[in-house]
Amino acid sequence: MTDLVPTREHEELATSVRQLLQKGKSPEDTWFALCDQIGAAALTIPEEHGGAGFTLAETYVVLEELGYALTPSPLLSTVVASRSLAAEPREGAPATEATDSRSLGTESREGAPATEATSESLAAQLLPRIAEGTTATLATGDVTWNGALSGTATPVLHADVAEFLLVAAKHDDGVGLFSVDPEAMGLTRTPLAGMDPTLSFATLDFTDVDADPISMDATEALAAAHRVGMLATAALQVGCAQRGLDMTVAYAKEREQFGRPIGSFQALKHRMADMLVKVQMSRSGAWAAVQAHVHGTPNADRLAAAAASYCSEAALHVASETIQLHGGIAITWEHDAHLVLKRAQSLSRLYGAPHEQRAALIP
């Protein structure tokens, strides 16, 4: 049975995260507190690998609060990386089913090569590190494997600060997943300047870089990680849009023109009502898609693409209206309105533009 709306436990989790973020700590201290006090990085990781054994729904709640606070955080990239290593627990599924050998890498078979047979243990070593708060990211791009990694992946979210890297690379038999030491010889990490100062990116250049194979057939794992990335990004977009709406409504009540608050003007009321509709529909669509993912419904992929498309465009619309309705102050460094716009623009490109997501809905 799906949760049509967040439960009381979800609301309590959101309140805890909100209170933590209001303390105004540095990004590093905030990340440590999220992992230590909330267990944010461990939520979707199975208990047998040091995690909390929850589902993406709980992580969605945390991410929406991070989106609202415009918090610099590696949670998005870390959640996607962990999903490429292990399946999430499913309602009604035993732990052994939720974390079988296929979900952790390639299946162990009698006579399998040593690297393949040990891929499960490698993933099992990495997952507890993520659960403890070690930052990770998944890099995809024009990278090939022929005993070593060569090629380029760009832009890669938080690749400049990640403590270990997972890299998808093509080989003669398909696509594999590999673990790479960020300090490995032949690897160059070049930070990239982005619109949003709260998100960091880097280009990864590989020149015969040694890597540990996790799975030589990672197609399904990477597809699942991509879906999780879309849904996690949607959560950040919903939070960002809510922040823009709240900020605009509060300003419209305070700013006066012609002797009355601008929020009393009918034309502006209509625009803010449209913003509210965008936010509410985004939240409903994203939550429905997350629940479909958690419970493995047949239309989970389509709902994820629909949510990704709608939430991206809604966040962009709300951010644009936030700037417009704040007037000149919105484009100054002193006001946070510009951060809403920059966050919405950056998030809209992470896992495909809205029109690309809609194209995926065409049979």
User: Which among 58, 61, 84 is positioned nearest to 136, based on CA atoms?
Assistant: 84
Confidence band of 92 (pLDDT split at 50, 70, 90): very low
- Cα torsion at 225, 226, 228, 232 (round to 10°)? 130
Is 220-359 a domain of CATH 1.20.140.10? yes
Secondary-structure class of domain 136-217 per CATH: mainly beta
Alpha-carbon gap, residue 243 to 74, rounded angstroms: 20
Q: Which of 86-90, 105-109, 310-314 has the lowest mean pLDDT?
A: 105-109
> How far, CA to CA in Å, does 129 sit from each of 41, 81, 122, 135, 218?
10, 12, 11, 8, 21
User: What count of other Cβ atoms lies within 10 Å of the Cβ of residue 49?
Assistant: 22
Q: What is the pLDDT of residues 102-153, one digit of tens each?
A: 334 333 333 334 444 455 688 889 999 999 999 999 999 999 999 999 999 9
User: Which among 28, 43, 31, 30 is positioned nearest to 133, based on CA atoms?
Assistant: 31
Asked if residue 155 has a cis previous peptide bond (ω within 30° of 0), the answer is: yes
Q: What is the pLDDT of residues 256-282, one digit of tens each?
A: 899 999 999 999 999 999 999 999 999
Alpha-carbon gap, residue 51 to 128, rounded angstroms: 7
The pLDDT, as a whole number, for residue 94 is 36
Q: Please determine, for residue 101, whether its predicted confidence score (pLDDT) is greater than 50.
A: no
Average pLDDT over residues 48-65: 95
Instruction: Give me the residue spans of the domains in the chain.
Output: 1-134, 136-217, 220-359
The pLDDT, as a whole number, for residue 15 is 97
**What CATH number does the domain located at 1-134 have?**
1.10.540.10
The pLDDT, as a whole number, for residue 331 is 85
Q: What is the pLDDT of residues 212-252, one digit of tens each?
A: 999 999 999 999 999 999 999 999 999 999 999 999 999 99
3-19: buried (b, 16+ CB within 10 Å) or exposed (e) per residue?
A: eeebeeebeebbeebee
Pick 296 or 2 by higher pLDDT. 296
**What is the helix (H) or strand (E) element at residue 165, kind and residue range?**
strand 164-171
Pick 325 or 88 by higher pLDDT. 325
Q: What is the pLDDT of residues 26-54, one digit of tens each?
A: 999 999 999 999 999 999 999 999 999 99
Q: Please determine, for residue 75, whether its predicted confidence score (pLDDT) is greater than 60.
A: yes
User: What count of other Cβ atoms lies within 10 Å of the Cβ of residue 189?
Assistant: 16
